[in-house]
Amino acid sequence: MNLGVSSCLLGTQCRYDGGHAHNDYVGEELGRYFNLISFCPEAIVFGTPRDTMRLVEDKEGAICVEFSKTHQDITTTLYDISQKEALRVGNESLCGFVFKSKSPTCGIERVKVYQKDSAYSEKKGVGLFAQAVRERYPYLPIEEEGRLHDPWLRENFIMQIFAYQDWFDFLQTQPKMGDLVEFHTRYKYLIYAKSHNRYKELGTIVANHEKRPLSEMLELYKHGFLEAIAIKGNKGKTYNILQHIFGYFSKAITTGEKEELLLAINEYKEGIIPLITVIKMFNLYIKRFEIGVSSQTKIFAPLSP
Ligand code: SF4
Quote the pTM value. Answer: 0.86
Q: Is the CB of 42 under 6 A from ligand 1?
A: yes
From 106, 142, 144, give the residue whose CB has the most ligand 1 atoms within 8 Å, as the site to mutate.
106
Distance from the CA of 25 to the center of ligand 1, in angstroms? 17
For position 291, what pLDDT does the model report?
A: 58
> Which residues, 6 or more positions from 107, have their beta carbon under 8 angstroms from its beta carbon?
99, 100, 101, 125, 126, 127, 130, 144
For position 297, what pLDDT does the model report?
A: 58
CA 182 to chain CA mean position, Å: 24
* Ligand 1 nearest-atom number relative to CA 15: 5
State how far the Cα of 171 lies from the Cα of 235, in Å rounded to an integer: 30
Distance from the CA of 18 to the center of ligand 1, in angstroms? 11
H/E segment holding residue 114? strand 111-115
Distance from the CA of 127 to the center of ligand 1, in angstroms? 10
What is residue 143's three-state secondary structure? strand
- Alpha carbons within 13 angstroms on the beta-carbon side of residue 83 total 5
State how far the Cα of 18 lies from the Cα of 288, in Å rounded to an integer: 53
- Mean pLDDT is lowest, of 98-112, 172-186, 267-281, for 267-281
Q: Is the CB of 106 under 6 A from ligand 1?
A: yes
> Which residues, 6 or more positions from 43, have their beta carbon under 8 angstroms from its beta carbon?
7, 14
* Ligand 1 nearest-atom number relative to CA 107: 1
Residue ranges of domains in the chain: 2-149, 150-305
For position 197, what pLDDT does the model report?
A: 92
Distance from the CA of 152 to the center of ligand 1, in angstroms? 26
Distance from the CA of 49 to the center of ligand 1, in angstroms? 12
For position 294, what pLDDT does the model report?
A: 52
For residue 304, pLDDT over 60 is answered with no
| Residue predicted with more confidence, 69 or 234 | 69
Closest residue CA from atom 4 of ligand 1: 15
The predicted-structure confidence for 117-158, as pLDDT tens digits, reads as follows: 889 999 999 999 999 999 999 999 999 999 999 888 888 898
For position 302, what pLDDT does the model report?
A: 46
The predicted-structure confidence for 248-296, as pLDDT tens digits, reads as follows: 777 788 899 889 999 999 998 888 887 777 877 877 777 676 655 554 5
Residue 243 near residue 265, CB atoms below 8 Å = yes
73 strand-pairing partners: 66
What sign for the dihedral angle of Cα 79, 80, 81, 83? positive
**Radius of gyration over every alpha carbon of the chain, rounded to an integer in angstroms:** 22
